[in-house]
Amino acid sequence: MSKQTKEKLIEAAIILFSQNNIETLSVQRINETAGVANKSALYYHFKSKWGLVEAALDHVMQPYVIDSLELLNAIPSNNVQVSDVVDALMKPMVKILLQHNGIHYIKFFSKTISAGDEGRVIVAKTLVPISNKAVGLLQQALPDADPNAISLKVLFTFNIILNVISDVGLEHFWPTEVKDHKLLAKYLKDYIEGGIRFKADHFYS
C-alpha cells in the first residue's frame, strides 16, 4: 500500500481527532475522511487506531521536539535564564499554530492528553526528552529550587501552553482590551516564567 495512503490517513486523523473523542471515533469515519477505499489500510500501516494516533502525534510533534531541543541546546550553560528556557518551550508551539491546519495540530495534541492513559503514555514519550533538558537548565538557573517542583512546573508549562493556544479566540469575549496575539503571548510568557520562579509556602489540604 502506498505512502500517499499512509499520509492521507495521518492528515485525516489529525483533523478528526482534533474535533472528536479519540476513543469513540470509528475507523470507518477515518477511512471516509481520508478518501481511502481499502478498509484494511489503517491496520496495514498502523496496526491499530492507537498506532495511527501515535504516528499522527509524531507527525505533529517531531518538528516541535527538534526546534525546542535546538533552542534549549543553544542556551549557554554558564548563563542560563528562565526566560530563555520558557522561550524554547513556547516559540516552537506558536510556530506550529501559525502553519496550515496548525490549530488542528494543537487541538489534536491536547485531545491526546485527555484520551486516557494510552494517550498520556504517547505524549509523555514525546515530551520527556525536552522536559529532561529544560529541567536540567532550570536547575542551573534556580539552584535552590526543589528538582521535583521544577519537573512538575515544566509539565504544567506544557499544559498551559497547549490549553491557552488551543483556546485561542476566547480573549475576544473576555473583559480585557488586549486582543493582539503578540501581547497575549507576552503575558502568557510572563505568567509561566513567574510561576516557575515563585515558591509557594503553603499547600491545599
pLDDT tens readout for residues 41-95:
999 999 999 999 999 999 999 999 999 999 999 999 999 999 999 999 999 999 9
| d(C-alpha 64, C-alpha 93), whole Å | 6
The confidence score (pLDDT) of residue 99 equals 87
150-184 per-position pLDDT tens digit? 999 999 999 999 888 887 778 888 899 988 888 88
Grid coordinates 504544567 are at which residue?
156
Give a three-class secondary structure readout of 21-66.
CCCCCCHHHHHHHHCCCCCCHHHHHHCCHHHHHHHHHHHHHHHHHH
Cell of 115: 484520551
pLDDT confidence of residue 2:
79
The residue among 69 and 110 whose pLDDT is bigger is 69
pLDDT of residue 175: 93
pLDDT digits (tens, 9 = 90+) for 1-21: 578 999 999 999 999 999 988
How much is the pLDDT for 1? 55
- 71, 46 contact by CB (below 8 A): no
Structure pTM?
Answer: 0.88
The count of residues in the chain is 205
From the list 114, 116, 112, 98, the residue with the least C-alpha distance to 165 is: 98
Task: Please give the pLDDT value at position 118.
Answer: 85
Q: Which residues of 145-157 are buried (b: 16+ CB within 10 A; e: fewer)?
A: eeeeebbebbeeb
Contact 130, 81 (CB under 8 A): no
* Average pLDDT for 23-47: 91
Question: What residue has cell string 481527532?
Answer: 17
Check whether 203 has a pLDDT greater than 80.
no
Q: Is the dihedral of CA 126, 129, 135, 137 positive or negative?
A: negative
Mean pLDDT of the 142-155 span = 95
Residue 22 and residue 119 in contact, taking contact as beta carbons nearer than 8 Å: yes
Q: Which three cell numbers stand for residue 35?
A: 478518501
The fraction of the chain above a pLDDT of 70, given in percent, is 99
Return the higher-pLDDT residue of 10 and 37: 10
Q: How far is CA 163 from the centre of its chain?
A: 9
Residue 192 near residue 88, CB atoms below 8 Å: no
